[in-house]
Structure 1
Amino acid sequence: EDESEEEPKLKYERLSNGVTEILQKDAASCMTVHEKFLALGTHYGKVYLLDVQGNITQKFDVSPVKINQISLDESGEHMGVCSEDGKVQVFGLYSAEEFHETFDCPIKIVAVHPHFVRSHFKQFVTGGKKLLLYERGWMNRWKPSVLHEGEGNIRNVKWRGHLIAWANNMGVKILDMISKQRITNVPRDDISLRPDMYPCSLCWKDNLTLIIGWGNSVKICSVKERHASEMRDLPNRYVEIVFQFDTEFYISGLAPLCDQLVILSYVKEISEKTEVECCARPRLDIVQPLPESCEEISSDALTVRGFQENECRDYHLEYSEGESLFYIISPRDVVEALMAAEISQKTIKKHKILDIGLAYINHLVEKGDYDLAARKCQKILGKNTDLWEFEVYKFKEIGQLKAISRYLPRRDPVLKPLIYEMVLHEFLESDYEGFATLIKEWPGDLYNNTIIVQAVVDHLKKDPQNRTLLQTLAELYTYDQRYGRALEIYLTLRHKDVFQLIHKHNLFSSIKDKIVLLMDFDSEKAVDMLLDNEDKISIDRVVEELENRPELQHVYLHKLFKRDHHKGQRYHEKQISLYAEYDRPNLLPFLRDSTHCPLEKALEICQQRNFVEETVYLLSRMGNSRSALKMIMEELQDVDKAIEFAKEQDDGELWEDLILYSIDKPPFITGLLNNIGTHVDPILLIHRIKEGMEIPNLRDSLVKILQDYNLQILLREGCKKILVADSLSLLKKMHRTQMKGVLVDEENICESCLSPILPSDAAKSFNVVVFHCRHMFHKECLPVSNTVSPVQFCNICSAKHRGPGSTILEMKK
């Protein structure tokens, strides 16, 4: 009797749809599995949330570099992420709760408490060079504490119940969070393997059973209670290794399967062509553990994309608890492995297994387990649209459309638009937040956008201020390319994305009559946007729109003036009043920098408002320095400012006015004595001081005047010495230069007759005069001196007023 061919234990299928798109541009680095969804991390720092069919439901830009690990709590509502650049983030997927930290080394692991959703379990661990526990305490502050350090980088961590297991370069440790005691240390077997190339794999089979795979060694450890009589100073728990065996290949990942193990192995083989060791296809084995060995149940070689370039650390094995469903993750592929017994068509006909599946769904519905029934629809109904639509209607009849909504296919296959519209209407009637979430997650082409928009508008008639509905309506309008209407809603809601929407869709023509709304929402961003796009919305239009809101008009014109002093020159007169009313500190800088504001108008406004400093500046700019000085003295009564003003103007009459005004005011005299020494002779002031007048600090002021005078004398003497020394040095240099010899040859010419200075006939006599300035003449070409002095001077230098050069050489023959 022929033996029937042994059936495969597992059936494999690539995770496609959104995963295919991701891995065309990026590479997978890690993944974690929840019963509701999958979370995939990539080498470019992205984290994607996927449904079980591989469709992208959400995307997070966490980091520009590789994501090392993702952790989820049991509820699937909180996620922890760490990356190669030292960033750690823990945040709520459906709440605003968030924690950020950046370390100075790559962070390889993160694990949130399994019950993180509960307020008294707000804990997570993270590890680079040391293992840190973060706990949220008083005032919602996160407090870190070191659990372990000093044994190299933390390579892996798994948190189950009250037990945390982690691996570093030396081995695996387990910490009991109740007693805060470490209860075991399982050393690494093969220390020759690099821990970064052959990382440790950890997984909890249950709350007390840890499975360790490292190199080619597997250990199954059981956490047990220590008997009271044995405790003494020991932890109340200990670990016993119940199974231990070696595998043929290096372990990349492992997972429990009832009482068996699923092991993902990294394989190397000798190439027949090159006889060089190379990477082979990875293997997925099911083994039965024995006390000191194992029995192989099945073994499959997997043809994953790019296996020839992958290393042991590039593969990961994840699994869905409670289901015989495993995921093999490699940089370019994610493969789903399912127990063949569930889907094999060799023993059960296709319609038979479908009937069983449908019966199972019905059974779950009857039990009231609607979420699990809906989740099973994905696996059982597959791409059968008719069955999908039938099940959706069945869920509608029992009022559980919400339960199946998250599992509806969104791409390959796509159901009729009516199905999606029916679900959206169900949410719209009872759950605005859920409705908004579906609109964000579902592609807009799944349903008739016009129908949904009208339904939302009808609901807004009953509740016109509902922010959730308004924001969702704006998103629907945006998808429908009705950007103007979306913009109105975003402005009403003061939504942060309003400026991004305007830029992205070039909506400047739509905001010309909404400038006040934009400015009220965020004046700084609005002004920057308006000034950056002057070609689309003119300055005149903006000023006109803001006419009834002068405070906003000022903000705009002030920013315009800061950018360019000349662009808004026609509004400078208006700006004087705006600065005076809303921004006096910037009025004086504006008056100083503007060359277009009318000074008379500015003076009138400043005098009406009694703006002394501004009035002083305007008076001095208009040439009325004496009135400006008088205002400083009478209004401000600030001698220092008066002195500074007089110094700036450098006018003797002003100093005279200042002295006259101050002569009967002792404090002013003190200020003048201390400051005018460099501009006015202090004697002029001292002679005018009335005899017997008490002047504060007079002695000190006189001493200072004398010291200043002595200092000036010393400075002048020092400058004189420097000038004399420099002059002498330059004179000596000039003398040395002029005493050097001068070459006279046939190429030189007489500066007077312009003929060669030397005769062509060497036998002929000649008489040549050469000056220090290097000009040369025939003796007979020089004019006869009218003076008695025999010294001759160069005609050319004398004519150019450069100081005549005297004779330095006379040549005769």
Structure 2
Amino acid sequence: MAKKTPLEAVYDGSGQVHPAKLLENGRIDGKEKSPQDQHHDSVRGKETSITTEKDSFQISGSDDHVEESESEDEDNEPPLLKFTRITKLPKTFRRDAISTCLFHDKIFAFGTHAGVLHLTTTDFTPIQTLKCHRSSILCINTNGTFFATASIDGTVAIGQIEDAKNITLFDFKRPVQAVVLDADYKNSKTFVSGGMAGEVILSQRNWLGSRIDITLAKGNGPILGIHTIDDIIFWMNGAGITFFSIHSRTQLLNVPFPIESKDGLRPDLYRPQVHCPETDRIIVGWANHVWMFKVSLRQTTDSSNNLGAILSTAASSLRAVPDKKVELEHYFVVKMLIAGISSFKDDQLMCLGFEDSTGEGSSLSKIPEITIIDIFTGEETHCDEVVLNNYEQLSLNEYHLGKYIGDSSPEYFLVTPNDAIRIQELSFKDHYDWFLEKGNFMRAWEIGRYVVNAFERLETGLNYINQLLEAKQWSEGATNLSIIISGTSIAEDDAFKDCAISKWTDMFMRIVKSDHVDVAAKNIPIAPQLGTCLYDAILEHFLKNSRLENFLHYIQLWPLQLFSIHKFENELEELIEKDNDLVHYYRDALIHLYLEENRFSKAMPHMLRRKDMRALTVLLSHNFLSQYKDNLLDIILLPYDGKLEELSRMPIVEIEHKFDKSLELLVRNRQSLHVQQVMSLLSDPKELRILLFLYLKRVSSIDPLSTAPFETDMIELYSEFERPALLHFLKTKTNYDVEKAIEICSRNKDSYNELIYLWSKVGETKRALSLIIDELNDPKLAIEFVKNLGDPELQEFMVRYSMDKPKFVKALLSSPDEFGRTYLEVIKGMPETMEIDDLHKILMRITKENSLSLIVGTSIFKIIDDETIEYATELLRIRCLGKVFRIEEDD
């Protein structure tokens, strides 16, 4: 259950909380009105004093506002509702108490115990005051044009709102407690009433002015209330809640009043409270019970579906089939006796009443409560106790709750015989004012974006920050100041932008000067940009106190336009010249600043001193390596931190990867930095030759002409660093010295393939073949080598040279021999004592091949011989033929 809040304080509408208790005479501890109260009076309009015979009192100015008591000041959230006393009710209420009231979307109506009806506009401006009855008015109803009142004197009065002189009285002899008009009363002259007689009577004036009555229900005790929705009538009496269809003239639903025990509540002791939040929804609160109904309305418009339609078909013996459906959606019991009920936001109900004290005595002297109830669970979510004038003497049925939805948010009205309170949800402005009053400036600032101008909201946020700084809460102050800055839009108004930036800068400077620089630096915004002096002060603090890691962090984090960059560049240059232990921090900071400004020539000397790899990136992106020829070796070696002696121990792949940018830089600048210059630079010491090799290799692949003069040198480098690729280089390049290449390869015992290629290139084929046979011992390569050259003399040399090598003899006998000469020479030349594996099989294969070759040769010769004889015979035949001569005669 929600916590109850007694409303004994005064709410003046300005957000100011006055804990003074409202006294019986209406004054608030005798305090004078504040300027805020006077301003609020000017908004509400001129106040009206109210005096009653029972209790004479005055209510003036802001003393008419009711709010939470001081006992709940510790709450951090504003109240759900605000309560304001209404002062514009007619003055006659001083001596004539209110007995009933009606809040319609067009008019408000108030009936008194003296039978007087007061009609006002929705802002309580009087329309007219009518003396309708001799005693208390118990019910008021209107269709917007006509009004009807029911009185304890047994009469019903019907009149036109705009014509106060024409009122018709209908006398029912018994007290009438409920009346409703037909929506088309102007034409139908029909209404329904009920009261202590226990009958629901439908009445109509005929054309002669006589009244015709039809009793719709009777015999279940007094009629406590009658209401309509569309063409459905429903009433409450001892039988419970009964719904009746006008169109079909049938009862649609009856819900009995629950009797919890033989000592349970008597329904006739409590006035039912009815509210229709929608055109098809009905809420009924009765005693401590709440019902919610859903009505299926008709789909088509039928002009006969009004109260008068019942009269026109009353004599018919036929009954129409019911065309409506009424369903009970929710029912629950609450812990209070209900004096008024209305819909509230988000599936909630607002109930007016007292705590349920059945069996504990009278409901008199209880403080009324406004309770918010969840529709689906029936549980209380909020509860306020409202201290009204003379509440000790009032019973449940003397309270009234009405709802009015105007142009803004809904308003609720709590009315008693001598008092009236307007109930509203707190608006954003109310919340803003409440938080201001409580000193919760941050919450006020959050809400302020919707209710106050930018300047006022700015001051609210600054008040919160000032509150934190005054309490020495520097970290919280800086954090929340950053939040406030990021949550404030300054783009649309230059004047506000200048003002806000100035004040925010001052606040951060206050934190900096309090020696909480880290807190300020961590929270200071990048956008919007505050005053340059603020960023300078933070950086200056870090620099002067040798907190260089912090200095470097923030110059890297902050855009250059935030601080005085040239000022700090000059300071750093001066500090570098002093050459102390922190010089590398100064250089790193200076390098960053120069690079951010694209002042690469200024940054380069410092980058080289710091061996900063970014120097290579800069030189690759901007073509000015020629300016640093004197530092070329330092630039090339930037990626390497070790000793040169250890460079040769690294795998060549790793070296190439590490020096990738350095090599790329040299290659790209080959036009301004000639190959000869790089060779001179990287030839000594010898540990650099690996870089020279990698450089020449890259240049050769993209610009062979530039490395052509240095191909001989490259052969030596290939032989030293990448010998497996040397043969391919020798085969693809032509501008090297072959004799020098042979000399280089001869120094390497494993360069046989290269020497074979080089010897053959200069015509020394026998020397090349000798290397294959003697060093490589590769008969297959030797045979292929000889076959590719096609030199018979070299063939004979190979056979003679390899006769003492069984492996070669076997290879020669196993290789194809087109004419069989090699086989013969090998067999004749091989030593008799030489042992060759599988020689028998080899000889059988050779013999078989020779036999087949002989057969094939003989067959071929036979074919050739036969064809020769055929062609010769044909030739002789042709020669034996005679010849034809053509002799031309002389003319």
TM-score between both structures, scaled by the size of structure 1: 0.44
Task: Choose 1 or 2 for highest CA Rg.
Answer: 2
| Structure with greater contact order relative to length (CA < 8 Å, sep ≥ 6) | 2
TM-score (norm 2): 0.40
